[in-house]
Structure 1
């Protein structure tokens, strides 16, 4: 397994994509005369969306017509009050539950029953959570959008199509065996064994496909496919129509579930399930067929340059202050501690 990941750069640790670009980040900071210049990129989001912000607060920025029903669950909330809130907001099973501050799909779970919810809360009720209706459109993508503060129209620089982790039956093998024989699936055996513990002996019909995980994160087995060929003026106009309704947001990725791209162009049959700020990546770079490691590094630098342009323009034109270095570093220190805790809990959860 380790050898497989070593040979396939899309699985390499994130620091290998960022450490080589640190000199460029320092160069941009020196040009802006501020080490925290990027904090002025998205004034609408705390620290411009460096990962320490509340996902629920960010979701609230999205116009109601384009977002799923979501409720905020404060840490240590009473289970009965949570159930009451879910009922009052007409959220039905199955739904998604996830940390309010989170990343890379950590502790994101699709909940099918009240028992599953209660078990989840036993483990994670000590952190702030989000309950979100499950959006049942068949496709998911990430669209990277930005707009310069001195321009009226935004641009799309990345589209990532997401292929959920799937196995195909042969009429003979059990689901357990199909998972073990699938190159991507076998990297997530503990998680998949837990998710499908009641169906591991199921035998799929020949050519029958089964989605193993509906969480569209690379860390959960989802394959990222470069969809930049779908970028066109009509799509940019459609997405821009939404983003113009979010004052103070200039840069980031929209994670969208949709029925078809034709519908998306018409702004129907889709929902924005997450809105990510400066910490977000143009995830098409992780397509191993249509990209390379060095192209990925180049794309990251390209997007950092966009951050530089937006932040310095916001600072100059809109008088947006850069965060104090001490405040920004404190938020990152707190995030690092929280991330370590979340990763540890995720590992325990996958093994249990």
Structure 2
């Protein structure tokens, strides 16, 4: 039973292999193995994971866009530091691969020394550096709009709960990390991130947030907040999405001050736009969902992809791709994924 309830930690192939027959059915129905590339015409390759995050971020309206610097592979630390100054970026900063997924190599950088150390390890791939957004809340909001329809739909709202421990007045932070059911799964990472305060003993009832990067791989818990999806929230993000040219399906990763701000579309920053490979992350809330529900959600969203793709092709917004294109894209993404994982293993 415990194994079944821990499905949030299962490998991704367990969620996607069962859907292959349905995906093939949709491809046959569309008469194209690459029908899904006809969504998100404003994002390279529909947002299949091989697109540049930097280029996608440029689609975000300025008021919601984080200050972001592109750092090409092999850039020297000296040049990068100079560009940071010229773009008026200040520490702390967030740095990550320009093509990335599932939180790999995402880090918070607090000084030029830490930045130089990061670049020495990882500048073999293109990177982006973003201002650190200090808003306390983060969520994933999944939005899509069917071509020809006036109103878009929010199909998923996921709050992100950062990993934390609560003091008992006796134990150190290091001990609390090792005894907490969730944080002990990420103990190596969280101990490293909090090395300067591991010996501290928090007062009873005091909560210590251990990491504020909202990736599941960094210890963040996904909480189903679909019950808070309202017409007001939908309309405000309909207005925002209308300004993101060529994006009709995917998830926005957002930092914001409080829920009323999110609902009103203010005091927020959109960290990333995700496309084709986006997931409705509320499905990973093991307190409200199940593995079977995950499969149902993914199937539902593949049907949405099919619908949008068919209509985009009909209206001349985008076109399908052939099997050769799909194969080349998958091979390219797989090779890049291996590169990222390789440098992660050799340096972590």
TM-score range, shorter-chain basis? over 0.9
- Quickly say closer, same or farther: Cα 1:6–1:234, change in 2 above 3 A: closer
Q: Distance between the aligned counterparts of 1:287 and 1:266, measured in 2?
A: 25
Contact 2:5 2:290 in 1 (8 A): no
3-state SS, counterpart of residue 86 of structure 1: helix
Kindly report structure 1 stretches of 4+ aligned residues shifted beyond 3 Å.
Answer: 3-7, 347-350
Q: Distance between the aligned counterparts of 2:163 and 2:347, measured in 1?
A: 19
Q: Which moved more, 1:269-278 or 1:203-212?
A: 203-212
Q: Distance between the aligned counterparts of 1:73 and 1:27, measured in 2?
A: 41
Match for residue 309 of structure 1? 307
Kindly state the Cα deviation for residue 7 of structure 1 after the two structures are TM-superposed.
5.4
In the comparison of the two structures, how many residue pairs are matched?
348
Kindly state the Cα deviation for residue 193 of structure 1 after the two structures are TM-superposed.
2.1
1:291 matched to 2:289? The reply is yes
1:37 matched to 2:35? The reply is yes
Q: TM-score, normalised by structure 2?
A: 0.97
Match for residue 181 of structure 1? 179
Contact 1:159 1:228 in 2 (8 A): yes
Query: Unmatched 5+ residue regions in structure 2?
Result: none
Query: Unmatched 5+ residue regions in structure 1?
Result: none
Match for residue 138 of structure 1? 136
- Quickly say closer, same or farther: Cα 1:343–1:6, change in 2 above 3 A: farther
Match for residue 300 of structure 1? 298
Contact 1:59 1:274 in 2 (8 A): yes
Contact 2:19 2:299 in 1 (8 A): yes
Kindly state the Cα deviation for residue 6 of structure 1 after the two structures are TM-superposed.
6.5
Match for residue 12 of structure 2? 14
Q: Which moved more, 1:56-65 or 1:195-204?
A: 195-204
Q: Distance between the aligned counterparts of 2:59 and 2:321, measured in 1?
A: 21
Q: TM-score, normalised by structure 1?
A: 0.96
1:251 matched to 2:246? The reply is no
Q: Distance between the aligned counterparts of 2:309 and 2:53, measured in 1?
A: 21
Per-residue CA deviation, residues 55-114 of structure 1 (Å, 9 max, x unaligned), is 000000011111110010001112111111111111111010000000010000000011
Contact 2:32 2:322 in 1 (8 A): no
Kindly state the Cα deviation for residue 178 of structure 1 after the two structures are TM-superposed.
0.8
Give matches, 1:1-352, under 5 Å: 8-350=6-348
RMSD: 1.4
Kindly state the Cα deviation for residue 176 of structure 1 after the two structures are TM-superposed.
1.0
Q: Which moved more, 1:257-266 or 1:271-280?
A: 257-266
Q: Distance between the aligned counterparts of 2:25 and 2:130, measured in 1?
A: 41
Q: Distance between the aligned counterparts of 2:113 and 2:157, measured in 1?
A: 37
Q: Which moved more, 1:160-169 or 1:331-340?
A: 331-340
Per-residue CA deviation, residues 3-32 of structure 1 (Å, 9 max, x unaligned), is 976751111111111111111111111110
